[in-house]
Amino acid sequence: MTLDPSLRDEILAAVPQLRAFAISLTNNADRADDLIQDTLTRAIAKIDRFEPGTNLNAWLFTILRNLFHSEYRRRRREVEDADGSYAARLSAPPEQGSRLDFEDFRKALARIPIDQREALLLVGAQGLSYEEAAEICGVAVGTIKSRVNRARTRLAALLAVEYGEEFGPDPTTQAALQNTL
């Protein structure tokens, strides 16, 4: 299929963002690239389902997310980068000097449930609105807000184990967390 040049350029421009989302979601660069390949192949094959004037990025993210969940259901288990091979492949190491270790944050993110992780990535990292994230995930806006909040709470609790009061919850929150972790 031949893509309209302007549409082709828009898809090209979206690839780095799709890839960052896929890497952060899967925690595995090779798996993320396979997911991107499947996403782009499907998007090109089904380009007639894209309505010009609507949100191309949201459409591509929806395809990627649906493929990821389809694969996840097949595997029935979460594949993590347990040996840290992704972190080792990073082309440039993160800036040093931060109290929080980059690798610890990456591991903590990989430990939160996938539905919460994707919501947090779409809103907190990709910068989408709650409404856009809700449309991509096929859930209500309130559900996305709840998932983002739960993701942050879980991350804070996981990191508090390593970093103490910097991420440590106040006593009220701590009591509530007893029931969520």
Partner 1 sequence: MCDDEDEKTPCSRPQPPLRCGQMLAPEVKLDRSVQDRIGQELRKLYDEALREPVPDRLLALIDPKAARRSLH
- Restricted to residues 23-52, the positions that interact with partner 1 (CB under 8 A) are 23-24, 29, 33, 36-37, 40-44, 46, 49-51
CB of 77 to partner 1, least distance (A): 21
CA distance 72 to 83: 20
Number of residues near partner 1 (by CB under 8 A): 74
For residues 11 and 41, the answer to whether their CB atoms sit within 8 Å is: no
CB of 72 to partner 1, least distance (A): 13
- Restricted to residues 113-172, the positions that interact with partner 1 (CB under 8 A) are 120-121, 124-126, 131, 134-135, 138-143, 146, 149-150, 152-153, 155-156, 159, 166-167, 169-170
Q: Which of 82, 94, 113, 129 binds partner 1 (CB under 8 A)?
A: 94
Q: Is 58 in the site for partner 1 (CB under 8 A)?
A: yes
CA 22 vs. chain centroid, Å, equals 6
CA distance 87 to 100: 15
DSSP for residue 173: H
Q: Tell me which residue of 30, 169, 174 sits closest to 88, measured CA to CA.
A: 30
Q: Which of 81, 109, 112, 133 binds partner 1 (CB under 8 A)?
A: 109
Q: Tell me which residue of 13, 47, 21 sits closest to 136, measured CA to CA.
A: 21
